[in-house]
Structure 1
Amino acid sequence: MGKIKQFETLIVEEVEQTSEEAPSEHGHNFFEIIYILNGQGYHYINKTALPYKQGNLFLLSPEDEHYFDIKEKSRFAIIRFTDHYFTQKRHLTTDETLVIHPTDLIRSQVLKENIITFNGPCSGILSNTIANILAYKCKVDLSDSAIIFYQIMTILGMVREELLRMDADLTNEQPSKERLLSYIHQHIYNPEDIQIKSIAGHFHISASYFSAYFKRNFSMSYREYVEKYKLKLIEKRIATGKTSLKQIADEFGFTDESHLSKYFKQKKNIRPTLYRKEHSQ
């Protein structure tokens, strides 16, 4: 799976694609608003298939992976921006405007599992707003335009109101690094509790977002961290000589002493009995 990178703060484009032209599943380092101008098919977001048609709107974050399965030639209005876009436009907003930060709104899990539908006047307002952005994209320094910024904020404001109408949870509270590590260290002896699905569920965030969040904050994958921490604890247990290998195997969820020995030899290139002997001297 590829990852598309964008270094410009803001890009607006109109794209028409057939099934043969559509990119395969991919991720990206930017936020994305996609409006369906016409056509139909399925939009796969983090493995979830959502049927799309004219007038549908999708919001994607850098943590998402997606692709379109186009059944009928489709035309998309695409707005791509980096997290720096809203930072540099802070002077154009008020605290009331940013009750929930735009990037937090886009990360809402409900947007990855449901199609947000706008009916009646709202549908027309959304369509006109998209048309305004496309008409104005000829401006050279698009990212500097306050007009474009307010149009984008209009779209996000409409999405927020629709999610509130659906009683969706918009808090998107992210666990602090301290809380996260505390939970991992506390449950390291219970493999089921530290599976990505379990820990993401504990902190009420999606599994795909959790993995990206962890890597962004700790500069390594979640699995890599757990593996290193677990191995470090096992090393200490073996080195002290106060705990039998069978007890260590039981403590860390290995099937038996042989399983532990095989794991340790694979990781440290030394048998645990020899490692204990070397470190007890």
Structure 2
Amino acid sequence: MKHFTVQEPLRIQQFILDEGIIPLHDHNYYELIGVQAGNGYHLINGNQVAYEPGDLFWLCPADYYGFIVQQKTRFCSLLFTPSYLAGLIAGSPYPWRHIQENTPSDSGKLLADPVASRKLMALIEIILAEHQEAQEITSNLVVDSLMQTILSLTDRQLAQQSLATTPRSSTSLALIQRIVSYVCQHITEPDSLRMDKMADVFNYSPGHLGALFKEHIGESIQQYIIRYKLKRVETRLSLSAMTISQIADEFGFADVCHLNKLFKRYYNDTPSNYRRYVLSS
């Protein structure tokens, strides 16, 4: 996995990406990404989240992420270092507690209401305009003031999302953890991952087991299995010399065509093209 760093305390950038994949990477900075146009998927910490215009993603140094761009996308991104954040905190009456937690996210998406999203996007665009006009945005009192407002709004959204998280019973969570562990353990054994087999293993009816899993995870067991398989395929493509046919056999795909079809659906590219892209990066 690549590691990205920034040297300057604060950076703002606007960029356009055509269809394709930005491989997973980690980083040493905080980042607020706004989607101005286009759609696709944001890959973060092993999860896949659809994005569309108006979406905002908050990323801390503990996250690793990438993108699958399906439709030409224009992003606007604020990047800043922990030391820059510490300097703003020192001069602010707000501790921004949720921002400072620096814990990996399931989606990174700020589930803000449309008004809050528009406010944040407008503030980012003002900093972009300031950068285009004055070039220098560090040690800039106007930009520092805008950044304090942005961080206050972001921290508020993170706090609201934390409060909105529905507590789930420890019994149900334990079951979900067991299912996920079982899937990971048997991911190369298609017969073990049939719904009727899993229902027997966990002593639930197939319908009840499937409903519980979808309630907690947000997708069906079979969707989760496919996505997890493709993540393992991605790893094989990036880090092994196995042929596409060998990879398809290992994970129980009917044939290479079946693997190609599913991989392209989720990654918008074929396995062979993805491997060439990763190895040439």
* TM-score normalised by the chain length of structure 1: 0.53
Tell me the distance in 1 between the aligned counterparts of 2:117 and 2:107: 20
Flag the structure with larger Rg.
1
Q: CA deviation at 1:101?
A: 6.4
- SS of residue matched to 1:164: helix
- SS of residue matched to 2:23: coil
Question: Which residue of 2 is the match for residue 121 of structure 1?
Answer: 115
Tell me the distance in 2 between the aligned counterparts of 1:81 and 1:164: 21
**Structure 1: which amino acid aligns with 2:7?**
F
Question: Which residue of 1 is the match for residue 127 of structure 2?
Answer: 133
Tell me the distance in 2 between the aligned counterparts of 1:136 and 1:12: 10
Q: CA deviation at 1:86?
A: 2.0
- SS of residue matched to 1:11: strand
Question: Which residue of 1 is the match for residue 155 of structure 2?
Answer: 160
Structure 2 gaps of 5+ residues are 166-281
Question: Which residue of 2 is the match for residue 18 of structure 1?
Answer: 18
Tell me the distance in 2 between the aligned counterparts of 1:150 and 1:112: 30
- SS of residue matched to 1:54: coil
Q: CA deviation at 1:156?
A: 2.5
Q: For residues 47-95 of structure 1, what are the alpha-carbon distances to aligned partners after superposition, in whole Å with 9 as ceiling and x for unaligned?
A: 111110111111112221110001100011111111110223345312x
Question: Which residue of 2 is the match for residue 200 of structure 1?
Answer: none
1:152–1:99 CA distance, 2 compared to 1 (3 A)? closer
**Structure 1: which amino acid aligns with 2:45?**
N
Q: CA deviation at 1:18?
A: 1.2
Q: For residues 237-258 of structure 1, what are the alpha-carbon distances to aligned partners after superposition, in whole Å with 9 as ceiling and x for unaligned?
A: xxxxxxxxxxxxxxxxxxxxxx
1:140–1:69 CA distance, 2 compared to 1 (3 A)? same
Question: Which residue of 2 is the match for residue 30 of structure 1?
Answer: 29
Given that residues 10 and 80 in structure 1 are in contact (C-alpha distance below 8 angstroms), is that contact kept between their aligned partners in structure 2?
A: yes
Question: Which residue of 2 is the match for residue 39 of structure 1?
Answer: 38
Q: CA deviation at 1:99?
A: 4.9
Question: Which residue of 1 is the match for residue 95 of structure 2?
Answer: 98
Structure 1 gaps of 5+ residues are 171-281
**Structure 1: which amino acid aligns with 2:42?**
H
Tell me the distance in 2 between the aligned counterparts of 1:66 and 1:141: 28
Q: CA deviation at 1:121?
A: 2.8
Given that residues 5 and 28 in structure 2 are in contact (C-alpha distance below 8 angstroms), is that contact kept between their aligned partners in structure 1?
A: yes
Among 142, 146, 149, the alignment partner of 2:137 is 142
Write the mapping of 1:1-281 to structure 2, written as runs, cut at 5 A. 1-20=1-20, 22-94=21-93, 97-100=94-97, 102-104=99-101, 107-109=102-104, 111-113=105-107, 115-138=109-132, 139-168=134-163
Q: For residues 88-108 of structure 1, what are the alpha-carbon distances to aligned partners after superposition, in whole Å with 9 as ceiling and x for unaligned?
A: 3345312xx11516432xx24
- SS of residue matched to 1:143: coil
Tell me the distance in 1 between the aligned counterparts of 2:67 and 2:88: 31
Q: For residues 150-173 of structure 1, what are the alpha-carbon distances to aligned partners after superposition, in whole Å with 9 as ceiling and x for unaligned?
A: 322322322322333334399xxx
- SS of residue matched to 1:144: coil
Tell me the distance in 2 between the aligned counterparts of 1:54 and 1:144: 31
**Structure 1: which amino acid aligns with 2:112?**
F
Aligned residues: 164
**Structure 1: which amino acid aligns with 2:55?**
N
**Structure 2: which amino acid aligns with 1:152?**
M
Given that residues 33 and 59 in structure 1 are in contact (C-alpha distance below 8 angstroms), is that contact kept between their aligned partners in structure 2?
A: yes
Tell me the distance in 2 between the aligned counterparts of 1:103 and 1:145: 23
